[in-house]
Structure 1
Amino acid sequence: MTMTAAAVAERPEDQHDQTMRVARHLAAFKNIETIPLPALNGLVKQMDILRQTSLLQAPGAQRDGMCVRLPSGVGKSTAARTLVQSVARRAGLPVEQSPVLLVTLDIEETVSLWSAVLRALGDPYWDVGYPKNLMKRAIKLLAKRRVEMIIVDEFNHSVDRGQARLLMNTIKEILNAGIAPVVVMGTDEEIERLPKNNAFERRMVHAPRIGPLEWGKPTDEVNWRGFLQGLDQGIVDANILAARSGLGTKKLAEALCEACGGIIGYAHWVVQDALTEVLMRGGTSIERLDLALSVNRLYVKFELFEQVNAVAHLS
């Protein structure tokens, strides 16, 4: 017997229904568009200057690079995605065809930079072939796609895999050949462990710092509250929750800034974790207690056992 639409709507939510609903809403949360924070604009602008300078140089002339050494979670990857999206939009292209190519190095694999570039370009055989053939295919596809800049994210993983020197030399070759400017991004404590390579370092221009944000600095407070307000509104716009949760209110924002050390990546994790709990119980908003418990879980996750949970101490 077929159930009517009304009967389906009245049927109590079972475990499968709940997990599907929560998963759907979490996927929507993860798809919230990048929040354009002024704090990230300096890095985005400097990368774009590097790209546009390259476009005005003669073909084959040596290009400059940039090494972005910043703590984890401050917004390096967000700045990279922002540039990828904005350049694609200005060129009238879909993001996947952006003239800025974002290449990510995974922590558990050992591949050449050329293989990683081919994978980012969508080559199904990115890991097949001798090194010189991989290089030739990558250069050909970069030219065909008209790539104007390459951003290598998670470059610090090369330190753990012992591939740093090889990857640094490959980047130097790309710059020397005038193929495209290259930006490498990684956590400062691991990038500092890169082997000494004067030829690589000479080709790197200055990269501005973008965090952590500090409460008490007016511009940082604006950025921090803007980030939380953007997430809050994004949750409503995506129909995840019906109303805003007041994440950007001054007292709560200050407590979250202190608890998360001014790192927006930590705050994003806390909000997602708290949102998961709200969705699991069928709640209508993220409460302060949800956030306080999520901060505790953040500390366990990153072993920050000496950090004070300012959200839990809000009056």
Structure 2
Amino acid sequence: MPGHNRHGNRSVSGKSDGKIKQTNAERKMKSKIVTDGLQSVLKNVKLDDNDECNSKNSNKNGGKPYGKDDGNRESGDKDNGSNKMRFDICPKRDNVKPKAPSLFLYKVRGNQPKHKGKGNVYFRPVMVLMNNYISIEDQISIVKTCRELGVNNGGFYQPCYSDGSKLNLKMMCLGKNWDPETKLYSETRPVDNAESHPIPEVFHDMVIKALQDSNAYIMNQVPEANVGALNPLMVPDICIVNFYSESGKLGFHQDEDESEMSLKKGLPVVSFSIGDSAEFLYGETWNPDDAEKVILESGDVLIFGGKSRHIFHGVSYILPDTAQTSLIESTDMRPGRLNLTFRKY
């Protein structure tokens, strides 16, 4: 989720000047602070010759995170159909049956997430979780749509930084591209100059309805709520689609890269969760030790705007084998979590 260093792998504390440069000492310090509940997601990894984050190729391009000859394409290839960078969230698999949910994770990790239960949950002013809000039919449709967009130009790729470190997820941007290196939005992405796909109209409709329903719920829960206690309605022009594998995670961050007007108005972030469940952290400060936690399950919609627009948040881990059987059987979706976050620039 942007604004943060967020999609990613870098913990942040407050606003940034737009540059992401850290010394080894700073990395070690942050790694020490972030506990086993949410380990630092900025990791140096061993890169092979075909890795999209090959730091050798980055150095050839003046330290930029990507270049035309980044080790993934032939020289001069404008990414015209090459699938070397494509990530298929629904690869065809033969006779693969979903496993039983791994409920033991709760006991092994000793986690006791708060607030999870049936129905909607009012966490704090202008922050609402609508449990199981997206029907299984719509979840299947969303997965298939994201898969179709994801295997084409501008689809899923492995985001990384100029120092070779990778994010613990695959990403695709719809509407506008968000670049984790510069923390800026643009019409194309530096990795391959591909344009972002438009946000499907059906996604717009789902977001607007979710906002309306969440505000109706807030008014019911807090009868004295005034306009400032509700999420402003919006038509999103940004959708960041992240796919987390079973080892995926997202560092503690704020979503603050949108326009000053959008942030000032508190235009909300609307998050759709599909597939495996995830432990979501949120809090007032940048320290995840102080964070509240909740399990987000397939079909859940989380909305935070207004006074809660600048909360710190992240994903500490994915609970494997918790996706609905019908979802996996209907889509062949990989083990993991698909997350769509909508906002307006």
- Calculate the TM-score normalised by the size of structure 2: 0.21
Give me the TM-score of the superposition, normalised by structure 1. 0.23
Instruction: Give the structure with higher Rg (CA).
Output: 1
Going by fraction, where is helix more abundant, 1 or 2?
1
Structure number having the greater strand percentage: 2
